[in-house]
Amino acid sequence: MVHLNRDNEFEPRIYGFTSTASAVLTHLICIVFSVFIALLSRPGTSLFSWHPFFMTLAFSFFMTEAILLFSPHGSPIKRFPHKTKGRVHWILQCLCLSCAVLGLAAIAYNKHLNGKPHFTSWHGLLGLLTVCVVGLQSLAAVPLIYHSLAKGWSLAKLKRYHAASGLVTYLLGSISLLLGLCSAWFTASVREHTWYLSALCPALSALIIMNQVTSAYMAKKRLQS
């Protein structure tokens, strides 16, 4: 009997600890990675420098923090009501979209000034798609605030679709970041082991965010069935 009680307390503690540890790790990764790219690109020294700076801020920092704040264990505003979390989430996502548009404008204008062709690499093509998807995802999220805009759709269904498409958007952002790290500019700026460490940042964050969103979805499904 005593054993059972101990087990019951021990198990959730282990899961709680690992969830908190992975969320803290993701906060650290997204901050360190954004600061590292900012130091390397030195925003303001050239028009190009704004591109990696704004894109990393958008996808590694703002988008990751916007999702992490719903983490049951690692949210910095864990104790706040869900409504407040929703509000902070859309403010961070608006900042993400603004930075993404600025980053895209910087690289597109830089290429135009240098007479280079546009969207010729996989990074450029997927990056353009990612920025368009973030715009669409943000537009599609408006009915979550003004529910009357989506007649015939329950709020629960809207939220489920928003989370699933948001996950795809986050993965697109992470892959675009990874492809950006494969660019001639970045590979020429860092040594091999720094490259691997940098690539680990968006890859690890994507895995942890994927786990957070799918766990929340599975928990809701279990409650409904």
Positions in the binding site for ligand HEM (CB under 6 A): 37, 51-52, 55-56, 59, 104, 107-108, 111, 118-119, 121, 123-124, 127-128, 130-131, 173, 176-177, 180-181, 183, 185-186
- Nearest to ligand HEM of 21, 139 (CB atom): 139
Rounded Cα–Cα distance for residues 217 and 223 (Å): 10
Rounded Cα–Cα distance for residues 132 and 24 (Å): 30
Q: Which residue in 215, 222, 213 sits closest to 89, CA to CA?
A: 213
Rounded Cα–Cα distance for residues 134 and 170 (Å): 9
For residue 13, count other CB atoms closer than 10 A to its CB.
10
- Nearest to ligand HEM of 89, 123 (CB atom): 123
- Nearest to ligand HEM of 31, 108 (CB atom): 108
Shortest spacing between CB 172 and ligand HEM, in angstroms: 8
Q: Which two tokens stand for residue 6?
A: 């101990």
Tell me which residue has tokens 């597109």: 108
Shortest spacing between CB 42 and ligand HEM, in angstroms: 13
**Shortest Cβ contact with ligand HEM: which residue?**
127
- Nearest to ligand HEM of 74, 124 (CB atom): 124
* Identity of the amino acid at 69: L
- Nearest to ligand HEM of 205, 212 (CB atom): 205
- Dihedral in degrees, nearest 10, Cα atoms 84, 87, 92, 97: 170
Shortest spacing between CB 148 and ligand HEM, in angstroms: 33
* Identity of the amino acid at 116: K
- Nearest to ligand HEM of 106, 141 (CB atom): 106
Stretch (H or E) spanning 25: helix 2-41
Shortest spacing between CB 95 and ligand HEM, in angstroms: 14
Shortest spacing between CB 124 and ligand HEM, in angstroms: 3
Shortest spacing between CB 31 and ligand HEM, in angstroms: 15
The DSSP 8-state label assigned to residue 45 in this structure reads: S
The DSSP 8-state label assigned to residue 116 in this structure reads: P
Q: Which residue in 155, 149, 152, 183 sits closest to 55, CA to CA?
A: 183
